[in-house]
């Protein structure tokens, strides 16, 4: 049992009358690599965005090291700097080069010096194999490369948890591999990760826990062996069988 | 034809007598338009930033009240200054202040009121342009900035506004050109711009049409040069479409497989010998190819 980092209690989120998340209970421990799977529209991404406070939960609480970050008067920006996020559509800053993308958060938010930030950024850019491209602008590199830069940008902030919101869904099959292998390496290095994904192989082989979501609730939560080998609920079996057949 | 000849001689007459005042008029017009556009842009950017302060229903009521208040003030400012003629704003300010304060507050020169009026007028237009520019930026950019813990101001100054600035550059150019022409209404408070030079010249010489021709040519020259320069700046802002690979970095992923251009066996694709052979053979091929022709 690792140290408890995040604890989500009775989290609900609705957009208008549309209830997207219903009473979610969920914990993240240090070193966890959690894959969140489920059909589109089941609330996976919304859960992730709520955890990073990009969406404000309608009710419930999110405890980060025991402190409720949804409460009024909590410094959301400070909390966000501890929780990295990698988006489906990369969201690299278009007005900056690859290197600047990875430095700006460090210099502006963490108040690191230029040189320190540069070295730190380079460390992670090398790790994701993007060091030769530090002078490129985001529009000049491929989707897989953009996503690797986005991972380096998030890592350069030294986050405690890294959230991935369908990191490979916008990529063509050839580029999926390069991003997944970077993520796998991060997982092996002990990074705490929360991955919303449709890559079942990744969920099965890399993650330590798999969460299956259906219609805004956590339907099943367990180790990959349990969930893929012996799913307890009918919905989970139905969902997984669709992947096996294809 | 002789009418044109007469026009030419009249213009020469005008220029020889009032050339200096035309030139200084052009100078004043350009300075006022440039400074007014610049300050107006600053006002516009600030208003755009204030207009887009995020405010959720869950925020503290005091914060929500102030955000609402700021938005209302910006809105009133934009509507009032966009909705009234600049010439009246100038009169209002130049004569209104002394009127209300029994001459206690009045402008001693024409520069400050002219600049203030042009700036806040441009600012009102720019506020809307900047808002449009900010809206046009993909929300993902804001989310990306928020996700690494940036505040609203940091997100704006580092990520959104630089991109919005590029997008509204044509609008800024538009405003500058409009300002070059519209500062002519500042004659009402005695500002000696290019158009005021015309009024002075015709007052003494009665050469209305020749002087108007000079004015037309002058304004058109100024605006043409301005739009040419703006295009050039836009091109500069877009930057180079290519980038440099940093392959000589010792710590890249490729380290170990590829060390230095001059290292390696002669069979190595990147060794010096291989390259030399390659260039040698390329030379020979070119030579024979040319010979056959």
CA distance A122 to A99: 8
Confidence label for A173 from pLDDT (cuts 50, 70 and 90): confident
Question: Which of A54, A105, A136 is closest, CB to CB, to B143?
Answer: A54
* Chain B contact residues (CB < 8 Å to A): 56, 58-60, 138, 140-141, 143-151, 154, 158-159, 162-163, 166, 239, 241-247, 249, 251-254
Contact criterion met (CB < 8 Å) for B148 and A134? no
Strand pairing class (A192-196; A161-165): parallel
CA distance A201 to A228: 10
Chain B: residue whose CA lies nearest to A150: B144
Contact criterion met (CB < 8 Å) for A93 and B151? no
Question: Which of A97, A133, A157 is closest, CB to CB, to B245?
Answer: A133
Counting one residue from A and one from B, how many pairs have CB atoms under 8 Å apart? 105
Strand pairing class (A59-64; A67-68): antiparallel
Task: Match 């929360």 to its residue by tokens.
Answer: A194
pLDDT digits (tens, 9 = 90+) for B126-145: 998 998 899 899 999 999 99
pLDDT of residue A241 exceeding 70, the answer is yes
Contact criterion met (CB < 8 Å) for A131 and B251? yes
CA distance B209 to B215: 10
Q: What is the mean pLDDT of chain A?
A: 90
Structure confidence at residue B270 (pLDDT): 52
| Interface residue A74 vs chain B (CB under 8 A) | no
Strand pairing class (A209-214; A33-37): parallel
Contact criterion met (CB < 8 Å) for A135 and B243? yes
Q: Give this complex's ipTM.
A: 0.87
Q: In sequence order, what are the beta bridge partners of A6?
A: A28, A64
Question: Which of A79, A91, A132 is closest, CB to CB, to B246?
Answer: A132
| Interface residue A131 vs chain B (CB under 8 A) | yes
A79 chain-B contacts, CB cut-off 8 A: 149
The list of chain B residues with pLDDT below 50 reads 249-268, 288-293
B147 chain-A contacts, CB cut-off 8 A: 52, 54, 80, 84-85, 87, 91, 154
pLDDT of residue A121 exceeding 90, the answer is yes
Chain B: residue whose CA lies nearest to A89: B140
Confidence label for A245 from pLDDT (cuts 50, 70 and 90): low
DSSP characters for B76-105?
Answer: HHHHHHHSS-HHHHHHHHHHHHHHHTTTSS
| Interface residue A68 vs chain B (CB under 8 A) | no
| Interface residue A154 vs chain B (CB under 8 A) | yes
How far is the alpha carbon of B137 from chain A, nearest alpha carbon, in Å?
10
Structure confidence at residue B53 (pLDDT): 83
CA distance B199 to B194: 9
Give kind and range of the element (H or E) at residue A25: strand A18-29
Strand pairing class (A4-15; A18-29): antiparallel
Question: Which of A90, A140, A154 is closest, CB to CB, to B243?
Answer: A140
More confident residue, B277 or A196: A196
CA distance A7 to A9: 6
Q: Which two tokens stand for residue B168?
A: 């509204």
Contact criterion met (CB < 8 Å) for B151 and A137? no
Mutation choice for B interface testing from A12, A16, A53, A77 by most B CBs within 10 A: A77
Structure confidence at residue B255 (pLDDT): 39
Mutation choice for B interface testing from A82, A108, A121 by most B CBs within 10 A: A108
pLDDT of residue A156 exceeding 90, the answer is yes
Confidence label for A100 from pLDDT (cuts 50, 70 and 90): very high
Structure confidence at residue B108 (pLDDT): 78
Confidence label for A174 from pLDDT (cuts 50, 70 and 90): confident
Structure confidence at residue B249 (pLDDT): 44
pLDDT of residue A163 exceeding 70, the answer is yes
CA distance A211 to A35: 6
A52 chain-B contacts, CB cut-off 8 A: 147
pLDDT of residue A89 exceeding 80, the answer is yes
Structure confidence at residue B96 (pLDDT): 85
Contact criterion met (CB < 8 Å) for B148 and A154? yes
Alpha helices in chain A (DSSP H): 44-51, 76-80, 98-108, 114-127, 143-155, 173-188, 200-205, 224, 234-245
């Amino acid at each position: 049992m690792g140290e408890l980092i995040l604890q989500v209690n009775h989290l609900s989120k609705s957009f208008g009358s549309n209830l997207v998340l219903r009473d979610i209970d969920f914990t993240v421990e240090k070193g966890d690599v959690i894959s969140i799977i489920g059909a589109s529209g089941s609330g996976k991404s919304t859960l992730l965005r709520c955890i990073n406070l990009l969406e404000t939960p309608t009710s419930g609480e999110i405890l980060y090291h025991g402190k409720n970050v949804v409460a009024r008067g909590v410094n959301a920006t400070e909390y966000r700097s501890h929780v990295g996020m990698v988006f489906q559509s990369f969201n690299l800053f278009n007005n900056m080069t690859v290197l600047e993308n990875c430095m700006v958060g460090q210099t502006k938010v963490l108040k690191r010096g230029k040189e320190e930030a540069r070295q730190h950024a380079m460390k992670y850019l090398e790790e994701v194999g993007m060091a030769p491209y530090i002078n490129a602008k985001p529009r000049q590199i491929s989707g897989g490369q953009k996503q690797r830069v986005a991972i380096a940008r998030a890592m350069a902030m030294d986050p405690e948890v890294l959230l991935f919101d369908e990191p490979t869904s916008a990529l063509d099959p050839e580029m999926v591999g390069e991003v997944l292998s970077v993520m796998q390496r991060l997982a092996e290095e002990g990074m705490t990760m929360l991955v919303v994904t449709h890559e079942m192989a990744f969920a099965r082989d890399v993650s330590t826990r798999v969460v299956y979501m259906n219609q805004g609730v956590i339907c099943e939560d367990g180790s990959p062996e349990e969930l893929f080998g012996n799913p307890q609920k009918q919905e989970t079996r139905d969902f997984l069988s669709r992947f096996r057949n294809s | 034809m002789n009418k044109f000849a007469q026009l030419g001689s009249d213009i020469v007459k005008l220029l020889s007598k009032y050339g200096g005042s035309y030139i200084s008029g052009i100078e004043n017009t350009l300075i006022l338009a440039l400074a007014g556009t610049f300050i107006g842009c600053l006002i516009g950017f600030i208003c755009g930033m204030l207009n887009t302060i995020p405010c959720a229903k869950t925020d503290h009521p005091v914060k929500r009240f102030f955000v609402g208040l700021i938005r209302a003030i910006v809105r009133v400012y934009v509507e009032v200054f966009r909705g009234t003629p600049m010439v009246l704003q100038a009169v209002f300010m130049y004569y209104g202040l002394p009127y209300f304060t029994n001459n206690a507050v009045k402008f001693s020169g024409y520069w400050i009121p002219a600049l203030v009026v042009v700036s806040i007028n441009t600012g009102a237009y720019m506020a809307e342009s900047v808002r449009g520019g900010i809206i046009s930026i993909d929300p993902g950019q804001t989310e990306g900035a928020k996700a690494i813990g940036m505040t609203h101001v940091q997100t704006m100054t580092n990520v959104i506004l630089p991109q919005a600035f590029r997008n509204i550059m044509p609008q800024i150019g538009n405003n500058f050109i409009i300002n070059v022409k519209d500062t002519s209404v500042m004659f009402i408070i005695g500002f000696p711009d290019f158009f005021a030079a015309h009024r002075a010249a015709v007052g003494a010489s009665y050469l209305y049409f020749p002087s108007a021709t000079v004015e037309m040519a002058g304004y058109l020259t100024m605006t043409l040069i301005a739009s040419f320069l703006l295009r050039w700046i836009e091109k500069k802002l877009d930057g180079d479409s290519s980038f440099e690979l940093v392959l000589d970095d010792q710590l890249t992923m490729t380290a170990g497989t590829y060390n230095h251009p001059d290292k390696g066996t002669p069979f190595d694709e990147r060794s010096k010998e291989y390259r030399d052979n390659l260039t040698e053979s390329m030379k020979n091929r070119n030579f024979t190819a040319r010979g056959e022709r």
